[in-house]
Amino acid sequence: EDQVTQSPEALRLQEGESSSLNCSYTVSGLRGLFWYRQDPGKGPEFLFTLYSAGEEKEKERLKATLTKKESFLHITAPKPEDSATYLCAVLTEYGNKLVFGAGTILRVKS
């Protein structure tokens, strides 16, 4: 069965304190890995798509990387407005659905 595990469940950072979120996956053929940001009570906001091991994408303070077994979302010098839940999802070759992890709740304090 396809599985996506995110760690840590929650992360508290001071403003400017860089860190990384992890997404490990076990899937039967990966067609794509997606990162989303979700604010409370709202729909997920698309951030990145990664398709193959070694690929990297960047957007402002965020950088996503992909290996054959996991993905990392690196946050450099975070600000309080980066506080949100970050969701990782995979698209597998045997279905047309996204399989999501439970997310990492990030809190950045000033």
Query: Alpha-carbon distance 12 to 94, whole Å?
Result: 36
What secondary structure, in 3-state letters, does 90-105 show? EEECCCCCEEECCCEE
Query: Alpha-carbon distance 43 to 61, whole Å?
Result: 21
Residues near another protein (CB under 8 A), total: 24
Nearest distance, CB of residue 36 and another protein, angstroms: 8
Residues in the chain: 110
Q: Which of 28, 67, 69, 102 binds another protein (CB under 8 A)?
A: 102
Residue number, 74 or 98, with CB nearest to another protein: 98
In three-state secondary structure terms, 56 is strand
2 counts as binding another protein under rule CB under 8 A: no
Q: Which of 21, 65, 84, 101 binds another protein (CB under 8 A)?
A: 101
Residue numbers 77-96 binding another protein by CB under 8 A: 87, 89, 91, 95-96
- For CA atoms 72, 91, 49, 104, the dihedral sign is negative
Q: Which of 19, 24, 49, 76 binds another protein (CB under 8 A)?
A: 49
Residue 67: which H helix or E strand, with range?
none
Binding site for another protein (CB under 8 A): 4, 31-32, 34, 36, 41-46, 49, 87, 89, 91, 95-103
